[in-house]
């Protein structure tokens, strides 16, 4: 094997850890630096999601790294959205008409632990915790770090640097504050924030509600969701506006009003939230933001994962997109015959449009999850799509399936096709051009034709 360069990877979260592992497998010498303590030894700090949705794009990247069997053991399948109406009724809306297509709940700590344990098998990786990056000198490829234990600054230099330091990336901030090149960047917050709560196991020490589903309580402007944990509990997330409406984060200021809100809006969930009043005030309220930037690289440094493209959580694709970054980077690395300078260019060019697409799709889904899921026309659309996926497993995939289960289709293509398909079906339903007298085959033809027309219009205008 060729003598590979020395890489500095800043951030040993999910993306940085998989990247370090993959690059170590290629024979690179790696310094992997993390600001937090080793999560295998200390409890996860508050304010980061405890569990996450793991689906096919993430799986593809783990398979590349030879970890498909190991990761499978820590996944909890979720076959669909379990919708909870205000009167306590539930309805399972499957994610796909194909039975082998589902998503998984995974513990962030378990997943990161798996990756760190693999990384430590490589002598060529130097894993450093408790060192926070203060600034990156882009010209000299040197990161300035603060060693929390010894309370001193140290400099680390490498041939190439990867910023995988998450949504609040210090590496990105270093790009933002320089004047040597034009750096486009955006940070957009939603009017909603989120807060995590917990459904503990029930008296029989089992899951309090159906284990293998992603639970949603859609309430128009606000919603609650719950994902299963391996310890029979659920991590519950409340999405609520900061202001406006009858209840919001700014007016839920005492235990009584919090209790009133949950009893009224989420009565069945309230019954299984014994620690609501404590958790609500102990756990932070966090903002929901989208970060985009361009270019992702300058000189010998590059951004990857959330540092390059943080997205809102409504498609369950944030982690998947970060892992897919590593997969796509690896493809580019092979294409460029392990020339990292060229790989930075080709990876950024190839991946940026897909990162933008999943950011936009995640915003689409915010609106869909909190309100559309309960609307009649969307339920009718969903029913048709599930029937099409079941009857024509090769020929039809909904937008959700394109994004989540078709890991060979780039996000941008999934977005463009999926959006046009959604528009086509809604428009056909509106004009009563789809009905039960037609065969599913006729319906598919009509949907495909209308979708194609819509996409042509977009294409003509953009090219």
Q: Given the rule CB under 8 A, which residues bind its own copies?
A: 182-189, 242, 287, 289, 292, 294, 367, 377, 419, 422-424, 426-427, 430, 453-454, 456-458, 460-462
Residue 137 three-state SS: strand
Do 304 and 325 touch, CB atoms closer than 8 A?
Answer: yes
Give least dist CB 240 to its own copies, A: 14
Question: 301-303 and 160-163: which strand pairing?
Answer: parallel
Give least dist CB 201 to its own copies, A: 36
Q: What Rg value do the Cα atoms of the chain yield, rounded?
A: 23
d(CA 253, CA 275): 16
Give least dist CB 276 to its own copies, A: 25
- The Cβ-side half-sphere exposure at 33, using a 13 Å CA radius, reads 27
Q: What is the DSSP string of 194-262?
A: EEEEEE---TTSS-SS-SSSEEEEEETTEEEEEEE-TTS-EEEEEEEESSSSSS-TTT--SHHHHHHHH
Give least dist CB 298 to its own copies, A: 13
Residue 49 three-state SS: coil
Ranges of beta strands (E only) in 295-358 are 297-298, 301-303
d(CA 399, CA 227): 22
Task: Please provide residue 218's backbone torsions phi and psi, each rounded to the nearest 5 degrees.
Answer: -80, 125
Give least dist CB 23 to its own copies, A: 29
Sequence-distant (≥ 6) Cβ neighbours of residue 258 within 8 angstroms: 252, 276, 277, 280
Residue 184 or 205 with smaller CB distance to its own copies: 184
Residue 432 three-state SS: coil
d(CA 440, CA 442): 5
Sheet containing strand 131-137, edge to edge, reads 131-137, 142-147, 152-157
Sequence-distant (≥ 6) Cβ neighbours of residue 339 within 8 angstroms: none
Do 400 and 444 touch, CB atoms closer than 8 A?
Answer: no
Query: Is the peptide bond prior to 295 cis by the omega test (within 30 degrees of 0)?
Result: yes
d(CA 44, CA 247): 30
């Amino acid at each position: 094997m060729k003598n590979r360069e020395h890489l500095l990877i800043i951030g040993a979260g999910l993306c940085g850890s998989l990247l370090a592992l993959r690059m170590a497998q290629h024979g690179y010498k790696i310094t992997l630096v993390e600001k937090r303590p080793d999560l295998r030894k200390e409890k996860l700090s508050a304010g980061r999601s405890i569990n996450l949705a793991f689906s096919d794009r993430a799986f593809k990247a783990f398979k590349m790294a030879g970890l498909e069997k190991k990761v499978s053991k820590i996944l909890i399948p979720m076959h669909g959205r379990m919708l909870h109406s205000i009167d306590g009724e539930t309805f399972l809306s499957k994610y796909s008409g194909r039975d082998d297509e589902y998503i998984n709940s995974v513990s962030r700590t378990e997943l990161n632990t798996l990756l760190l344990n693999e990384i430590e098998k490589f002598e060529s990786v130097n894993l450093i915790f408790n060192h926070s990056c203060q600034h990156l000198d882009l010209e000299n490829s040197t990161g300035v770090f603060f060693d929390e234990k010894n309370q001193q600054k140290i400099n680390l230099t490498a041939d190439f640097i990867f910023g995988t330091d998450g949504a609040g990336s210090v590496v990105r901030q270093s790009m933002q504050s320089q004047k040597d090149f034009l750096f486009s960047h955006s940070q957009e917050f939603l009017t909603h924030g989120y807060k995590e709560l917990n459904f503990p196991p029930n008296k029989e020490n089992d899951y309090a509600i159906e284990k293998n589903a992603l639970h949603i309580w859609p309430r128009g402007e606000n919603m609650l969701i719950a994902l299963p944990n391996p310890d029979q509990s659920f991590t519950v997330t409340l999405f609520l506006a900061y202001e406006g409406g009858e209840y919001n984060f700014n007016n839920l200021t005492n235990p009584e009003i919090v209790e009133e809100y949950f009893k009224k809006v989420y009565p069945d969930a309230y019954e299984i939230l014994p620690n609501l009043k404590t958790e609500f005030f102990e756990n932070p309220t966090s903002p929901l933001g989208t970060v985009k930037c361009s270019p992702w690289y300058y000189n010998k440094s590059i951004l990857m994962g959330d540092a390059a493209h943080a997205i809102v959580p409504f498609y369950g694709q944030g982690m998947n997109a970060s892992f897919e970054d590593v997969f796509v980077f690896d493809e580019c690395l092979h294409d460029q015959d392990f020339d990292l300078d060229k790989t930075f260019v080709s990876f950024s060019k190839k991946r940026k449009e897909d990162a933008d697409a999943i950011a936009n799709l995640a915003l689409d889904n915010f609106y869909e999850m909190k309100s559309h899921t309960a609307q009649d026309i969307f339920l009718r659309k969903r029913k048709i799509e599930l029937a099409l996926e079941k009857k024509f497993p090769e020929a039809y995939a909904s937008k959700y399936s394109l994004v989540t289960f078709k890991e060979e289709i780039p996000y941008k293509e999934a977005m463009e096709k999926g959006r046009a398909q959604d528009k086509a079906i809604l428009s056909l339903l509106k004009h009563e051009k789809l009905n039960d007298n037609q065969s599913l085959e006729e319906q598919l033809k009509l949907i495909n034709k209308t979708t194609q027309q819509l996409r042509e219009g977009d294409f003509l205008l953009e090219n």
